[in-house]
Amino acid sequence: MASRVYIIPLWLRLWHWTNAALMILLMASGFSLHFSDPDLPLIRFDIARTIHNVSGIALTVLYMAYLVWNTVSGNWRQYVPAASELISGLNAQNAYVASGIFKGAPPPTVPTPEKKFNVLQQATYLLVMYVAMPFLIVTGIAFFFPELAPEQLFGMDGLLPLAVAHYVIGFLLTLFLLGHIYMGTMGTTALAGFKMMITGWHDEHPGHAGQPPDRTGASPTSPTEGGKRA
């Protein structure tokens, strides 16, 4: 019989959806500020600027809280892929998303409280949360104080390198979000991942019943909070 396990604690779900809402506001207002014609704005310039500034500050505060919670709870360990698993885990995951899923095969990794993510998710979340987000936030804060930028840098306007860096990382995070939502449909059913991020419970794939948690040979990391089974 298929069972279920509680693996996403409430604080993480609250952080995740507030963060997602703020990122979408930042993307929409940032897109409007960067691309739309001042005479024909997607969102009126002063409104887009206020949305972008307020959401950016809220995202920064939320990110600080996430860093503290993620450290104290030990959840950060869930993002560290085991070196021994990098190649085999990626191969297994790629084979699953490229073909296995279309034949009804179960995902190669079974989420457990000790190891919630496959190696692709681990590497992605590590990069996104510990490299891309700090970079986005630092360049955004620096952009918030343009008067502190040098007049000229390497013969260019002093703000230009910062503007390009902030834009590029925002663009890459937008690509991440699209891929993230698509990959979210690759769980035991198309909606299982989204349901898990709302309820905290992961439903086991019927094909996994009675199997060991991880079939890619990975050693488990520290358990996250939760771990109730039903």
Chain residues that interact with ligand HEM, rule: CB under 6 A:
8, 12, 16, 19-20, 23, 75, 78, 116, 121, 125, 128-129, 177, 180-181, 183-184, 193-194, 196-197
CB-count exposure of residue 79 (10 Å: 0-12, 13-18, 19+): buried
Residue 213 CB, shortest distance to ligand HEM, in Å, is: 16
Given its phi and psi angles, is residue 9 left (phi above 0), alpha (psi -120 to 50 degrees) or beta? beta
Which secondary-structure segment (H or E) carries 75? none
Distance CA 74, CA 123 (A): 17
Nearer to ligand HEM, 159 or 165 (CB): 165
Would you say 10 or 209 has its CB closer to ligand HEM?
10
Task: Read off the tokens for 113.
Answer: 């409280």
- The residue (of 158 and 201) whose beta carbon lies closer to ligand HEM is 201
Rounded to a whole number of angstroms, the minimum distance from the CB of residue 216 to ligand HEM is 16
d(CA 110, CA 24): 30
CB of 46 to ligand HEM, least distance (A): 26
- The tokens describing 45, both together, are 């310039």
Structure tokens at 110: 């079974």
Nearer to ligand HEM, 19 or 88 (CB): 19
CB 41 → ligand HEM: shortest distance, Å? 24
Min dist CB 88 to ligand HEM, Å, is 19
92 vs 196, beta carbon nearer ligand HEM = 196
Nearest distance from C-beta of residue 57 to ligand HEM, angstroms: 16
Helix (H) or strand (E) holding 157: strand 156-157
- Among the listed residues 112, 128, 105, the one whose alpha carbon sits nearest the alpha carbon of residue 186: 105
Q: Of 19 and 159, which CB lies nearer to ligand HEM in the complex structure?
A: 19
DSSP 8-state symbol, 148: G
Contact 76, 182 (CB under 8 A): no
What span, in angstroms and rounded, lies between the C-alpha atoms of 51 and 193? 29
